[in-house]
Chain A
């Protein structure tokens, strides 16, 4: 990783810390709740940025991966295994013996036995990665409209399954999901007192994601991806295994979405089918587009800004309309992203040296 990128990461750390200090100083720490959620959504967005911006593949199904991660984790950590254990179910006994189950008492004093969030999260990630892998092999052979519709179709199927499956809570979703104790003392949950800690958990996760992606982008893989984006046939001709790289990035970005889904689900204590909705996927795509496709920092900045404003309810009932309008305006007037509209480009455009 080049020095410049280290610098960017340091700036990101500084911004994250100073925002927290600022909310503390101005006594507006209630903003941290939305900032935490924004952090998790940003994780999805930088993952999608890898697929869209660097590999040049559109995915209108990323909310689907987010939901697979979130729902899997939610089901596993809320499904009461007590009766299964009493019936002598082999698998449950095995899990119990390995210490992978947590048993507590519910409000009424009944024994509740559920899977520890750690193994649940690992299962959720593996499940998402395998689904992304299986879907990715055929889907990524497609281009343009076909790719868009295929990923959109995948997203709708996941949404329908979430909406119509009893164990996934149908239209109500799943609630009362326990917190996720990452390490003793560090817990992802929506408790009032844990607000600052959760803010940092979310943003440390984003930071890890950013560093991973920066390393990936500035490696052999990243160069291969840019070659694919520029001219897939040419990349193929010089021996880049394009299908392999596209699939690889697709799975990585699906895992990013799944991790975000798992953490946000534990943070909110619930997940509903709207998380799998088409508008969510479209929104992620919109933000990456606004940020400038192949600009992770642009996508991150725009993602934080727009998600935070949306979560604070600043757009009111025009929430989706605002995203739709922004999408159109950016694509009409600044197809390379808002942050790429630098003065330099305008000058060179007017000089006629470069076609926008």
Chain B
């Protein structure tokens, strides 16, 4: 493998990896406040892409993306209010089936609105053939957009959770919901907020990545399972580790093209998921002592 090819694969891996990381962070935000894995997480990414593509002819691109993120955030809030907010101590199995149902409904709605065709946003800067030379590799400027915006999302989120009162309230709910409620935090609103937040970041990621990977009504499932892989790889609930795990999976996947056919690319990452679940269900970065107290 030449050095150029190596860098080329590396950049492809980083692009996909950071998207997986965003999906994984979406999983983590909801998991932390509710203990639910939202199987419809990938659909938020699809909705963000699709809505922005539909709005783009009507308004400038940044505005279209903004509106798409806002709308998806609202959809996230609606989903939580309609399907989840009023359930009293739902079992895990029940929540799995409900969120799978939601993901099917969102996908089917998208199919009936946008059809089976593949769509994409225009490149934010330049076009399909414009490229920047980095260490001998040809990298599309869109890749820099993806990496840049996703990094900003990650940084802003961590600042939000660390320093803003709202972020601290959400963290309080995730560490002890009862105690948080006793301190006067409205735990139910925090859950709604966590759905909005993960829908919003998913949608934004869906917009920036749309010019490269294209958007189709059923692209959410694959993203969800890879996002989950990344979330587990980093240890469920740990968002910073998810970024590292996301990059790791993306790069592994990109280099695997060199060895196995493209059609089996998904199988590779799912095999990694299965392997991790069997060997280290608490993730690469989790402590095995703490894992002894948890159930997997």
Which positions in A face B, CB cutoff 8 Å?
58, 60, 138-139, 141-146, 148-150, 152-154, 156-157, 160-161, 163-164, 278-279, 282, 285-286, 289, 317-318, 320-321, 323-325, 327-328, 331-332, 335
- Tell me the bound Cα distance from A317 to B266 in angstroms: 28
Q: Judging by beta carbons under 8 Å apart, are A146 and B264 in contact?
A: no
Is residue B98 within 8 Å, beta carbon to beta carbon, of the partner chain?
yes
27 sample A-B contacts, Cβ–Cβ < 8 Å, listed by A number:
A138-B278, A139-B274, A141-B296, A146-B296, A148-B37, A148-B96, A149-B228, A149-B277, A150-B273, A153-B225, A153-B270, A154-B270, A154-B274, A156-B270, A157-B270, A160-B264, A164-B263, A279-B104, A285-B97, A285-B100, A286-B101, A321-B104, A321-B109, A327-B97, A327-B101, A328-B98, A335-B90
Q: Judging by beta carbons under 8 Å apart, are A144 and B273 in contact?
A: no
Q: Judging by beta carbons under 8 Å apart, are A160 and B105 in contact?
A: no
Q: Judging by beta carbons under 8 Å apart, are B277 and A327 in contact?
A: no
Count A/B pairs, Cβ under 8 Å. 113
- Tell me the bound Cα distance from A286 to B92 in angstroms: 15
Q: Judging by beta carbons under 8 Å apart, are A332 and B98 in contact?
A: yes
- Tell me the bound Cα distance from A141 to B278 in angstroms: 8
- Tell me the bound Cα distance from A145 to B274 in angstroms: 13
Contacts of A139 in B (CB 8 A): 274, 277-278
Is residue B129 within 8 Å, beta carbon to beta carbon, of the partner chain?
no
Q: Judging by beta carbons under 8 Å apart, are A153 and B104 in contact?
A: no
Q: Shortest CB–CB separation between residue A133 and chain B, in angstroms?
A: 15
Is residue B102 within 8 Å, beta carbon to beta carbon, of the partner chain?
yes
Q: Judging by beta carbons under 8 Å apart, are B98 and A327 in contact?
A: yes
Q: Shortest CB–CB separation between residue B293 and chain A, in angstroms?
A: 14
Contacts of A163 in B (CB 8 A): 263
Q: Is the interface of B mostly helix, strand, loop or mixed?
A: helix
Is residue B120 within 8 Å, beta carbon to beta carbon, of the partner chain?
no
Contacts of B182 in A (CB 8 A): none
Is residue B69 within 8 Å, beta carbon to beta carbon, of the partner chain?
no
Q: Shortest CB–CB separation between residue B232 and chain A, in angstroms?
A: 7
- Tell me the bound Cα distance from A160 to B221 in angstroms: 13
Q: Judging by beta carbons under 8 Å apart, are A145 and B281 in contact?
A: no
Q: Judging by beta carbons under 8 Å apart, are B225 and A156 in contact?
A: yes
- Tell me the bound Cα distance from A321 to B111 in angstroms: 10
Contacts of A161 in B (CB 8 A): 264, 267
Contacts of A335 in B (CB 8 A): 90-91, 94
Q: Write the chain B residue with the least CB distance to A149.
A: B228
- Tell me the bound Cα distance from A321 to B105 in angstroms: 5
Q: Write the chain B residue with the least CB distance to A144.
A: B92
Q: Write the chain B residue with the least CB distance to A290.
A: B97
Contacts of B4 in A (CB 8 A): none
Q: Write the chain B residue with the least CB distance to A152.
A: B225
- Tell me the bound Cα distance from A317 to B87 in angstroms: 31
Q: Shortest CB–CB separation between residue A52 and chain B, in angstroms?
A: 8
Contacts of A145 in B (CB 8 A): 37, 92, 96
- Beyond A282-B100, A320-B104, list 20 extra A-B contacts (CB 8 Å): A58-B96, A143-B92, A144-B93, A146-B281, A148-B96, A149-B277, A150-B274, A153-B273, A157-B266, A160-B266, A163-B263, A278-B221, A279-B104, A285-B100, A286-B97, A321-B108, A327-B100, A328-B101, A328-B102, A335-B91
- Tell me the bound Cα distance from A138 to B279 in angstroms: 9
Q: Write the chain B residue with the least CB distance to A142.
A: B296
Q: Shortest CB–CB separation between residue B266 and chain A, in angstroms?
A: 5
Is residue B83 within 8 Å, beta carbon to beta carbon, of the partner chain?
yes
Contacts of A285 in B (CB 8 A): 97, 100
Known: A164-B261, A328-B83. A318 touches B281 (CB 8 A): no
8 A Cβ contacts from B251-296 to A = 261, 263-264, 266-267, 270-271, 273-274, 277-278, 281, 295-296
